[in-house]
Amino acid sequence: MKHSTLPLLVELGCEEIPARFLDDARDDFGRQMLSALGESRLLPASAEPARWYSTPRRLTVWVPAVLAKQPDVVEELIGPPVKVGLDPAGKPTRAAESFAAKNAARVADLVQITTPKGQYLALKKTHSGQAAVDLLPGILPGVVSSLNFPKSMYWVAKSGPRFVRPIRWILALWGEGKQARTIPFEIAGVKAGNVTCGHRILGRGGLRVQGFADYLKKLQQAGVELDPEKRRTRIRAEIKALLEDLRLRPVEDNWLEAWIVNSTEWPTALLGQFDRRYLHLPREILVTVMRDHQKYFAVEDGKGNLQPRFVTVLNLDGDTQGRIREGHQRVLSARFADAEFFWNADQKATLQDRRPLLDRVTYQAELGSYGEKVQRMKAVARELCAVLEGYAGPCIPDDSLLPDNERAPKGAVPRLVRFVPMVRERVLRAVELCKSDLTTQMVQEFPELQGVVGGLYASAQGESSQVSEAIYDHYLPQGAEDRCPRSMVGAIVSLADKIDSVVGGFAVGHEPTGSSDPFALRRQGNGIIKVMVENSLPLPLRLLVERALNILTIEWRKPQLEVFRAVLEFLEDRLRYYLETVRRLRYDSVRAVLAAGWDVPVDALWRAEALERVRGSENFESLSLAAKRIKNILGKSATAEDWRPGEVDAGILEEGPERELYVAYGSAAAEAGQLTASGEYDKALAAIAGLRPAVDRFFDKVLVMTGDRGVRQNRLRLLGKLDQLFSGIARFAEIVGGPGDVDASTLRTVKSDK
C-alpha cells in the first residue's frame, strides 16, 4: 500500500558557531535526523535523498519525503507446537486456548506456520501506524538534544539543554506552500515556528516561509547563501577575478578556504596590499601572519614568489568606499612591523646563547624544564644513531650524505647500507638547538611557528643546512597526511622528540583514554611510526622505549615495567592504525604480520606488502588453510602427553608423503631463511607457498594422531617445524579465508590522532 508523504524542513538558528565545529555539526544533525525518522518508521523505502546545510548562524536539514502516517506493522507471535496445540482430531487443546487468551485473541484466529523447528501455532496481530503530525513533536527535540560538540554551553540554567551556542530561533515546517504546518515543540524556551532570520547585517527582521523553495529564495534575498559548496565556489571565483588580470594567484590553502566558508554567509573577496619592504622577511613568517592571525590569503606570482598583496573575504556584499580595505591594510602593516621587530631583536642572541634559558621554561610539571627535555632527547638520539651505525640489514634510508656511487636509485628495493657517522654530529647539534626558539619573541607572538623559526634562525646564524632543516622540520609530521622531515638528520631529531614525549607522557599518567588525549600522544605515536616507516629506518621500538624510560628521573606512579608494556601496546596499536588506515592494507594481513613480530615497524610494513602481493595465489590460499589446520592440531588435538618440541627423527619417517614433506620443508626453510635475511620477502613467501602440494599430500595420506606414541610425536614435531616456518614472516593461520573465519566486519576500530 502506498502512503502519502510531505517534506520536512528544520532549521536551528543560533549565535555564530565556531568554524572548526560547523562541518561535523551539520553532518551530525543530518544523520541524527534520518536515524530518528527511520527508527520511527516515517521514511519511505525510496525517495529523493535528504540534504543538510550550514552557515555560521544556522544548521538546516531538509527531508523531501516523510510519511504522513507510519505503515501498519504485522506482528507474528509464535505459540505452542502444532502437536501440542491441537489434539489428534485437530481440535484446539488447553495450550492453544491459553495462548489465544493471553494475547486477547480468539482460538479461530490462530494459524499454522512452518519454522526451522517444525510446525507451530501462531497469531498475527496488526498494529496501526501513528500519524507523523503526532510523532514529530516528540522526535525533533530528541534529535537536537542528541547532537554532540567538542565544546557546548548552557545559557538558560545549568540543568537546561546544552548546545554549541545559544539557540535563538527554530524553524520546523512539515509540508510545502500554503498547506505547510509548523511542528510544535520547544527547546530552552525557544518555540518552533515558521520564521527564519537572514544575514545579521544584510537581512531585515524575521522571514516567514512556506516551505523549502520559499526558504531558499528568501534567504538569498536576505544575504544568506545556505549551501557551503556554493559559498566555496563563490569565494574561488571572486579571488580568481581579482587576481587573474594581475597574473597572480592565491597561495593554496585548503584549511583557510574551509575556515572562510564556515565563517561567512555572504562571502565577498577583497584585494589589499602592503609595503614591499616587508618581503625581506621569510615567507613562512609573512604567510603565517596573514593566514593564522588575519585569515588572509597570501598572494604569489606564477613562479611562487610572494607578492605584496593579500586577499581577505568579507561577510558583506562589498566595500564601496574602500574603508574596510584601508582598515585591513593598516592592521596587517602593524602585524608585519611587529614581526620585523621580533626578527631583528631575536638575532641579537644566537640559538646556542639561548640554550640556558630553556632551563627556566617548564615543559611539564613532573618532567621538568625544556632544558631537561633536550638532555633526554640527546640521550635518545645517541641511542638511535648507535643502532643505525651498527645496523647491517635491508634498508633504504636517506643517504644524501653518501658518495654518488653509494646512493640508492629511486624505487630501489631494500639493500645493505651504511649509516654515515657524520650524521650523529649533526643530529646532536640539531637536538641541542631545536627548542631554543621557544625563548624568542617571534615564537612567543606566533607560537604556531615554533620549530620553523628555529630553523630559519639557525640558517641565518650559519648552521649547516642539515642542522637548520632538521630544526625546521622536527615537529613533523603533525598528522597522517603531513609530510615527514626532509632528511635523515631531521627524521632522527623528530623521533627523539616524539619518543621522549610519548614515554614521558605515559610515565606521568597522561596516556590517552577513550576519546581523551589532552597531550596529543596519539598524534605523537602516529608520527613515530610514520617517520620510521617512511624513512625506512630499521629501529627496534622495544629497545628505544626501554632506554627512554631508563633516562627518566621522576617519581614513578606505576611500576616501570607496567609503563613499558603500556607504551609498547600503544605503539603496536599506532602501527596497526598506520598499516590499515594510511597504507590501506587488509586487516587480516596486518594481523598476521604483527602476530609474527612488529618491533621494527618498517620491517612489518615490508612483510605486509609482500604478503598482500602473494595473496590470492592458489598455493598461498591453500597453505593458509593448512596452517590453520596445523595450528588446530598442535593447539587442540595434541596434548603435552602426545609430544614435546624437539628435532624431527628422520630415521622413523615413512617413505612417501611424510618423508617428501620433511625434505621439502628443509629445502624451503633454508631458502626462505636466506631470502628473509636479505629482505626479499616476496620470494621467501613464494618459497614457503611452494610447500603446498607436499602439505596437501601429507594430510591426505598420513594419519598424524596415530596410535604409536613415537611416530605420533615425530609427526607433531614436523608440524611444529612447519608452524614455525609459517609464522616467521606472517602467521598464515591469521589469514581469513576458510570455514568459520570471520569477515572484515569484525575488525575492531583503532583510535586515530583526532
Residue 244: its pLDDT value, please?
A: 94
The average confidence (pLDDT) of the chain is: 88
Alpha helices in 678-753 (DSSP H): 681-689, 692-701, 709-726
More confident: 601 or 734: 601
How far apart CA 526 and CA 753 sit, in angstroms, is 7
Instruction: Determine the average pLDDT of the residues in 417-443.
Output: 87
DSSP letters for 383-452: HHHHHHHT--SEE----TTS-GGGSPPTTPPPEE----THHHHHHHHHHHHTTGGGGSHHHHH-GGGTTH
Question: What are the DSSP E strand ranges found in 241-305?
Answer: 248-250, 268-273, 297-301
Instruction: Determine the average pLDDT of the residues in 647-655.
Output: 86
Percentage of residues in the chain with pLDDT exceeding 90? 59
How far apart CA 279 and CA 274 sit, in angstroms, is 9
**pTM summary value:** 0.79
Element holding 336 (H helix, E strand): helix 323-346
The tally of CA atoms less than 13 A away on the side-chain side of residue 211 is 11
- The interaxial angle of helices 692-701 and 657-677, nearest 10 deg, is 150
pLDDT for residue 547 is more than 50: yes
Cell of 485: 622531515
3-state secondary structure of 718: helix
How far apart CA 662 and CA 719 sit, in angstroms, is 10
Residue 719: its pLDDT value, please?
A: 86
Residue type at position 565: R
Residue with cell string 510531505: 6
3-state secondary structure of 297: strand
Instruction: Determine the average pLDDT of the residues in 723-733.
Output: 84
Per-residue pLDDT of 344-369, as tens digits, reads 999 999 999 999 999 999 999 999 99
In total, the chain counts a number of residues equal to: 754
Lowest mean pLDDT, pick from 91-100, 106-115, 462-471, 613-622: 613-622
pLDDT for residue 410 is more than 60: no
* Domain ranges for the chain: 5-70+131-221, 73-127, 228-346, 356-582, 605-744
- The interaxial angle of helices 601-614 and 521-534, nearest 10 deg, is 70
- The interaxial angle of helices 488-507 and 541-551, nearest 10 deg, is 60
Percentage of residues in the chain with pLDDT exceeding 70? 93
Element holding 63 (H helix, E strand): strand 58-67
Q: What is the Cα gyration radius of the chain?
A: 34
Cβ–Cβ < 8 Å for 160, 181: no
Phi, psi of 270 (to 5 degrees): -140, 130
User: With helix as H, strand as E and coil as C, how does 9-43 read?
Assistant: EEEEEECCCCHHHHHHHHHHHHHHHHHHHHHCCCC
Residue 750: its pLDDT value, please?
A: 42
Confidence of residue 391 (pLDDT cuts 50, 70, 90): low
Instruction: Determine the average pLDDT of the residues in 333-343.
Output: 96
610: which residues sit within 8 A by CB, 6+ positions away?
Answer: 681, 682, 684, 685, 729
Q: Describe the strand order of the beta sheet including 297-301 as a list of residue ranges.
A: 248-250, 297-301, 306-314, 268-273
Residue 624: its pLDDT value, please?
A: 79
Instruction: Determine the average pLDDT of the residues in 142-148.
Output: 93
Residue 404: its pLDDT value, please?
A: 47
More confident: 264 or 178: 264
Cβ–Cβ < 8 Å for 357, 369: no
Per-residue pLDDT of 477-493, as tens digits, reads 988 788 999 988 999 99
Signed CA dihedral, 347, 352, 356, 357: sign only = positive
Domain 605-744, CATH: 1.10.730
Compute how many other C-beta atoms are within 10 angstroms of the C-beta atom of residue 540. 14
Residue 333: its pLDDT value, please?
A: 97
Cβ–Cβ < 8 Å for 628, 733: yes
Nearest CA to 28 among 54, 56, 47? 54
Per-residue pLDDT of 710-723, as tens digits, reads 888 888 888 888 88
